[in-house]
Structure 1
Amino acid sequence: MSKAKRLLDILMFVTTKKKFTAQEIADEFHISIRTVHRYILDLSDMGLPISSEQGRHGGYTVLTSRFLPPILFTEEEAVSIFFAFQSLNYYRNLPFDTEISSVEQKLYHSLQSEAKIKVDNIRSYIAFWNPKRMIDTPFLNDVLKYSIENKNLHIQYESKSGIRKKHIRPIG
């Protein structure tokens, strides 16, 4: 098994388990403790936030539960995701706007050179165009948050009959 494949398997194992020992990895993947330590250093160098604790009840802990293991896309899948993001550029305000831009850049830079050429060529000929959305949506993030958390949202607005208050539960 190649080192890259082994690292990917260990990455998926540790992000699922969260807390583990070198011995557990050695047993799971049939490798030596010394090799485990080298792989853990490699994963740490790649950006996996790992903490180690010495002693009898020590081991390793993945510091965040919000880290996703690598996802392997085909070239066609990656290109389709890139162009789905392109269609979002026509909206004025979107939740996660900064994150969408970051994902788009990461995706583009992770493409192999042939796929980058394909994306660039398609971009120069095709635009997934939508009319520019000009309406401000300053509360869209809040509505999304309350919808996800299944909480009531309290709104106040002005109507012809005066100030009105509503309690709503966004469902989608």
Structure 2
Amino acid sequence: MQINRLLEIVYILLAKRQVTAKQLAEQFGVSPRTIYRDVDTLSAAGIPVYTNKGKGGGIRLLDQYVLGKSLLSDKEQIDILSSLQGLNALNVPEVEPVLNKLAAIFNKNSTSWIDVDFSRWGSNYADQEKFNSLKTAILNRNVVTFDYYSSYGEKTERSMEPVKLIFKGQGWYIYGFCRLKDDYRLFKVTRIKNLTCSEETFTREIPRESWSDSDSLDVSHRTVRLVLKIESRMAYRVFDEFDQGSIAKNADGSFMVKVDYIEDEWVYGYILSYGNDAEVIEPEHVRNIIKRKLEASLRKYL
């Protein structure tokens, strides 16, 4: 207990530079006399701590003192703090106290330079809570249950051991072991409804095989290579939504985009979201599907 208290005192002094014996005594639930004995112990161990008596006095460390600085280079210290900032942005439990302690030890400002919001643009509170529940289930290894709607609107009840949240192709997915299918599956988060995080825990680890294989998707579709001609006025979307290597510029200023997507209703809707500014060049069957959808929409206005 004393060793832990001694370390905590050093951390506090590194962060605040000066505190009173009374403040430390109240924090640790001991007497001021015990705190002064701790100060003597730290001084004997070579820690440059001293006390100032009178008004405005207290327990201090020598200015510019940095604990353990020689163990890590300046860049390594910054890398460690940056990594912890990333975890803290994800609200990983008990990271913030460690971040603050190391920032004090390294004598560096732990300015919050990163923030992570798992929810999509335009989402509501319920969507944000869904992401928080999934994240908590992954960290605590809790089994989750939910209703899942396929791209055709078919509902199934699922029980899952979640292991990873993934952002892929403008959408969030949860990857884990689906007990209904007795295999690993990838579920689109927006199609998950009535999510419940149970008290049951699991021990399953992430498998070595890649989650990016389309076979892991909980849909019956395969990827399709799309060739799209997109008008120049949609340049802001083209460079936001496609990799530079998949974009070619035509002589008339339009763009030719080649991209692989899982073929489902989302893809058709995505293409249609461009209106008359996008044309499917290949494959022919997708071109025909888009044509039929446009014709069906037009008939509603005739």
Q: Give the TM-score, by structure 2 length.
A: 0.23
Higher relative contact order (CA 8 A, sep 6+): 1
Instruction: Answer 1 or 2: which has greater strand percent.
Output: 2
Whose radius of gyration is greater, 1 or 2?
2
**TM-score, reference length from structure 1:** 0.35
